[in-house]
Structure 1
Amino acid sequence: MSRSGGGNYGESKGFTPNILPDETSLDDKHNLYETSQVDSGFLSGNIPSEEFESSSSMRLDSGVCVDAVTRSFSDLNFKSSDGLNDLNSGSIKSPIDSTQTSHTQKQNWEIYHQQDEDGNTFLHHSVIEHFPEVALAVIRATPTPTLLNTENDDGQTALHLAVLTNQWKIARMLIVAGAKPSPINRQGDSPLHIAARIGDVECCKAITYPVQQQERERLGLSYPPHAYDRCDLDQWNFDGQTCVHVAALHNQLEFLKHLVWLGADVNAREGKGGYTILHFAVQMGDERLIRFLLSCRALNVSVLTYGGRTPLELGYPVQEHVIKLLKEQGIPSPDQSEYEYDSDESDEDDDVYGQMNMLSQQQSSFAIGASA
């Protein structure tokens, strides 16, 4: 379940993330790029161009020379499936114009996007094995961005894996190449949810910053320009949590600050009880998080849970100085005699499923009364 994203984040700031400079060194596969700071604040790096094209061990005109890159990929056991991934089918059609593409090129991109017994493709494995140069070559050999969104048996795309393994450079290559920024895995988590959980701000930037024309040109894609999807900053996972909830619950304050700066909804309510991150902050007694939230101009302190509770009416012990902070922002301190209630009843009140049961009972009573 998802909701609309955070508006025109990035473009209004005039970002010019130049993460695909022209020159680099290939001395170390883990240091494929030399990072540099640019005006947008994005930690940029180099993606190789001439070095790849002139390398005798890497053929960019037809994809990756498997044996020359790494022997770990030569033992992959691919499974057959319908459509593009079935190499035994004689009906496979390449999205590329056959007059512009050799037989070897077609054969290579088909092989690279075959899935093994776990649903992983060559691209998935290049991320898992931390081979950004292999990922780059596979991306360049890919005839359509749709293939970049292939999910393995856990619902993970290559972008999920890039974030999970803290490889923001591969994540950015995938975004520039046209991979969808907000796919969900079997837990309903998008790559941005994963980045929020582990606090990887660089991956957040790689996923959310607008793509620049020079980035695309330097990536050397085989297909024409296309429309890019926006990253959904306020997307729910299967727990009903947006990325701001995930960041707050996992004490990733710096990541949360960046999300809010990008335009994520600081007042978003999670899907189960309707808690905002201010409710969570008070519940956890996190004064540092509370102070940050109260400094946000977009914060609305009057947002209630689904049960109609303010952050101070949740029944949790709150320190006096926290109560003072919240009262200064207009949140009233509850009168204990007025808000005495059974804890079980409170939990049910704040639970969306409890409300659904109450509504069902009301409808049943109405039906009985009508029949009488």
Structure 2
Amino acid sequence: MSPSTAVCRRLHYACENGYLGKVRKILSKTGVNILNCRVKGMTPLMKAAEEGNRDILELLISKGADVSLVGDECDNILHLACYGGEIETVKYILSLNAVDFNKSRGMKNRTPVMAAANGNGKVVELLVTKGADVSLVDDYGDTILHLACRRGDVRMVRFLLSLNVVDIDARNKKGWTAADVARDEGHGRVVRLLVSRGAP
């Protein structure tokens, strides 16, 4: 028998908010048939990953939650953890060796390291040390440098430039460079850094 929508929603809520005791209680009453139920395209495991609730992640995986599933936008649990930015959660997911972080493409055809460029510099650095490819582009032609510039994270931009991999002059499908993106977002410090490195 499949779980009711109401029970599935309760499990998602508990996973999102870090209520480990509630998650255990729900699982004890419903069994494992609820592990991969979806609310708005996401499983409980995806919700726990996005919110950085590692203890819940570990519990769900120990009970048999499917780590290979993706959401409606094609994001997997590593993408979601990278958007969330909890580095210990990202490390745990990486330890599972369940996701190829250079081949998996999520929302807007972004890799997990591109997802982390949403403002999570420490996660970007971790993924780069593990071999993440920072030369890839998304559906909009944005490089990871474009994405970091959109957020205005000077430290992350400086780190990406230090890798000597990302083309500072690369243009996305709108014809914009990373410096153009930073200008448009009003991130003056990032613009000055890029110009000092030769950006147009």
TM-score, length basis structure 2? 0.71
Please say if 1:323 is aligned against 2:180: no
Unaligned runs of 5+ in 1: 1-84, 86-113, 211-228, 328-332, 335-372
Please say if 1:301 is aligned against 2:189: no
Q: Structure 1 residues 321 and 258 mapped into 2: Cα distance closer, same or farther (>3 Å)?
A: closer
The aligned runs of 1:79-118 (5 Å cut-off) are: 85=1, 114-118=2-6
TM-score, length basis structure 1? 0.42
Q: Partners in 1 of 2:81 and 2:92 — Cα distance?
A: 11
Equivalent residue, structure 1, for 2:24: 134
Of Structure 1 and Structure 2, which has the larger fraction of its residues in helix?
Answer: 2
Shift of residue 258 of structure 1? 1.7
Among 266, 270, 280, which residue is 2:138 paired with? 270
Unaligned runs of 5+ in 2: 184-189
Shift of residue 119 of structure 1? 6.7
Shift of residue 125 of structure 1? 7.0
Q: Partners in 1 of 2:107 and 2:136 — Cα distance?
A: 15
Q: Structure 1 residues 232 and 175 mapped into 2: Cα distance closer, same or farther (>3 Å)?
A: farther
Among 107, 111, 125, which residue is 1:257 paired with? 125
Q: Structure 1 residues 203 and 270 mapped into 2: Cα distance closer, same or farther (>3 Å)?
A: same
Shift of residue 293 of structure 1? 0.7
Please say if 1:183 is aligned against 2:69: yes
What does the per-residue CA deviation read over 1:250-275, in whole Å, with 9 as the maximum and x for residues that have no partner? x211122122223222222111x211
Q: Structure 1 residues 274 and 119 mapped into 2: Cα distance closer, same or farther (>3 Å)?
A: farther
Letter in 2 for 1:233: F
Give identity over the alignment, percent: 25
Equivalent residue, structure 1, for 2:187: none
Shift of residue 292 of structure 1? 0.8
Q: How many residue pairs were aligned?
A: 189
Letter in 1 for 2:92: A
Please say if 1:290 is aligned against 2:157: yes
Q: Structure 1 residues 124 and 315 mapped into 2: Cα distance closer, same or farther (>3 Å)?
A: closer
Runs of 4+ aligned residues of structure 1 deviating over 6 Å after TM superposition are none
Q: Is the 8 A contact 1:269 1:305 kept in 2?
A: no
Q: Partners in 2 of 1:209 and 1:302 — Cα distance?
A: 32
Shift of residue 242 of structure 1? 2.5
Among 106, 110, 113, which residue is 1:244 paired with? 113
Larger CA Rg, structure 1 vs 2: 1
Q: Which has the higher contact order (CA 8 A, sep 6+)?
A: 1
Q: Structure 1 residues 282 and 120 mapped into 2: Cα distance closer, same or farther (>3 Å)?
A: closer
| C-alpha RMSD over aligned residues | 3.6
Shift of residue 159 of structure 1? 0.8
